[in-house]
Amino acid sequence: MKKMKINNMVSVLFSLILVLVSCDDNELNIDKAVKSNREMTITTDVVSTDFVGNGAQWGGYDVVPTWLGTETLSDADWNTLFQRIDFMRPPFLRIMTNSGWSYDNNGTYDKVTKTLSLFKMLDYAKSRNIEITYGEWGHQSVGGFGNIDMNWIANSVKFLNHLVNEKGYTNIKTINIINEPNGYWASTEGNYDIYRDVQLAYIEEMAKYALSSVKLMGPDIAVFNTASETEWITKTNNDLGDYVGLYDIHVYPKQQLIRNGEFSNMLRAYKKITPSGKQIVLGEIGFKYDEVDAELKRLNEEAIENDPFAGEDSNMMVYKSFYGIDMADALIQTMREGFSGSLVWNMDDAMYNSPDNGDYQTSKLKRWGFWNILGEELTSDVSDENIRPYFYPVSLLTRYFPAGSEIYNVELPDKKGVRAVVGMHNGKYTIAIVNSHYSTYDIVLKSDLVSSLTANKYRYKSNVDGSFVGAVDSDGFATPLESNVTLDFTKGLEMTLEGESFVLFTNME
């Protein structure tokens, strides 16, 4: 009997030990899983090479003579613009015009009278070796939008030749004829065949000049939030082939599409259909709010209503710091998907007006810019010339991902809103990380690409009240939070990534 009791006790104790060991194993497995989901690893996987660059839509100032009674901006305003763009150091810009704002002076070809602002911008871009995609908003027709005005074609190409070969703006690499041709608002009224015929007529006219270095950028379609327009890229490749130097799409996503990561899925569809050996960029990117972002839609409409200088085509959230987080997230997702750059809409409120009621001389602005350079002169509010929050992260993603960069993938933890990308140029590195969610995460940054790095650290944190945390200098430009930080990837760099924050490490100048 005693022997049986001892055996039973041994059996019970052994079972308890097994249970305890099993609990320890489960806890270890859970702890291991938790730690693993903190890891963010820079890989050796190259997602794109020969990066074109991030930049912005620049151009216009066409209504300045009407607004101010002067030919162009003041020298002081131009100098402020140049200083700010110098900090951005964009490798890529888009400058658009039309005949009436450039070479058509009341029906007469005139390359002097209306070109002062245009030449100011192109002179600046040439001096900084910035790649330009230049073009016209739409084609001209005779007796119906399907009948191309060949006189317009001749003058438009003649002016392009003047820019490239006579003025020496050889940094114009692509020509963008017809903005958003898939839209009902375009000069094509959404008709692909007309878009194709205009491009072919333009190419034929270009052959009369020494313009072989200039290629088309297209199809320049507005896709907004959908992957349903890929056939425009397929048709453009079939019909225009080697004449296309750069493919592009325009996106105006909902905030939710960005923050939940579905934006990447949409981009992937367009990247997949892009012809092998060709590059694709975002020709425009901004945010539009509809019922999906109902509260932002309401706030935007309310802000427009309360601003006598804001037109209907405005995003008033550019005054709020969260817009910088959304834009950083969008640009990082775009780079991660192998796109070769993005052009933010847009540089400056003062570039374009918003003729909501058909008044093309109105002083109501398209408020999307990093600033309004005419705050004092046009709106009697000098503070409106100040740099807005979203310039902080966008300027860094422009400055520190130079043309020619190799872009590397980063394996991400399963944490909502967290995205990261790495660029390498001439042996120097930039690491950009964003957390667009509200939660704060602890992460461990590792790398298979480089074992260690000494870099400057920039940090931008969006506050609920619309302000941001981020070091700036006396000009309002981003400055490092810390300089010469040692990043040891062999043991992993432990970081706290706050909600709605952006962090960038770089050893580039």
CA distance 436 to 413: 14
Contacts with 121 (C-beta within 8 Å, 6 or more apart), sequence order: 58, 59, 95
22 band by pLDDT with thresholds 50, 70 and 90 = low
- Region 332-339: what's the mean pLDDT? 98
**Segment 186-209, tens digit of pLDDT:** 999 999 999 999 999 999 999 999
pLDDT of residue 445: 98
pLDDT of residue 354: 95
**Segment 292-330, tens digit of pLDDT:** 999 999 999 999 999 999 999 999 999 999 999 999 999
CA distance 331 to 322: 14
- Region 443-468: what's the mean pLDDT? 98
pLDDT of residue 26: 54
What are all long-range contacts of 356-364, with beta carbons under 8 Å and residues at least 24 apart? 356/311, 356/312, 356/313, 360/63, 361/63, 361/66, 362/311, 363/67, 363/309, 364/308, 364/309, 364/310, 364/311
Where helices occur in 107-225 by DSSP H, the ranges are 116-127, 150-161, 192-206
- Region 470-482: what's the mean pLDDT? 98
How would you classify the pairing of strands 172-177 and 215-222? parallel
19 band by pLDDT with thresholds 50, 70 and 90 = low
- Residue 28 pLDDT > 70: no
Q: Residue 390 is encoded by which pair of tokens?
A: 């979203």
357 band by pLDDT with thresholds 50, 70 and 90 = confident
3 band by pLDDT with thresholds 50, 70 and 90 = very low
Contacts with 50 (C-beta within 8 Å, 6 or more apart), sequence order: 279, 340, 404
pLDDT of residue 9: 56
Does 355 sit behind a cis peptide bond, omega within 30 degrees of 0 on the bond before it?
no
Of 10-14, 182-186, 362-366, the poorest mean pLDDT is in 10-14
145 band by pLDDT with thresholds 50, 70 and 90 = confident
CA distance 137 to 98: 6
Contact between residue 244 and residue 50 where contact means Cβ atoms under 8 Å apart: no
- Residue 11 pLDDT > 70: no
CA distance 20 to 24: 6
pLDDT over 70, % of the chain: 93
Dmax (CA) for the chain in angstroms is: 119
- Residue 32 pLDDT > 80: no
- Residue 264 pLDDT > 90: yes
pLDDT of residue 60: 87
- Region 18-23: what's the mean pLDDT? 54
- Region 85-110: what's the mean pLDDT? 97
pLDDT of residue 2: 46
- Residue 7 pLDDT > 80: no
- Region 457-466: what's the mean pLDDT? 98
**CA dihedral sign of residues 431, 435, 440, 444:** negative
Q: Residue 340 is encoded by which pair of tokens?
A: 């070769």
pLDDT of residue 8: 58
Query: Closest by alpha carbon to 349, among 316, 320, 327, 324?
Result: 316
Measured in degrees and rounded to the nearest 5, phi and psi for residue 431 equal -115, 120
Q: Residue 257 is encoded by which pair of tokens?
A: 């599409």
- Region 116-126: what's the mean pLDDT? 98
462 band by pLDDT with thresholds 50, 70 and 90 = very high
**CB atoms < 10 A from the CB of 481, how many?**
16
**CB atoms < 10 A from the CB of 462, how many?**
27
Does 7 sit behind a cis peptide bond, omega within 30 degrees of 0 on the bond before it?
no
How would you classify the pairing of strands 428-435 and 501-506? antiparallel
Q: Residue 278 is encoded by which pair of tokens?
A: 């060709």
pLDDT of residue 104: 97
pLDDT of residue 13: 53
CA distance 487 to 346: 35
CA distance 388 to 256: 22
**CB atoms < 10 A from the CB of 144, how many?**
6
| 95: enclosing H helix or E strand | strand 92-97
CA distance 473 to 290: 36
Number of H helices, E strands in the chain: 13, 20
Measured in degrees and rounded to the nearest 5, phi and psi for residue 428 equal -105, 155
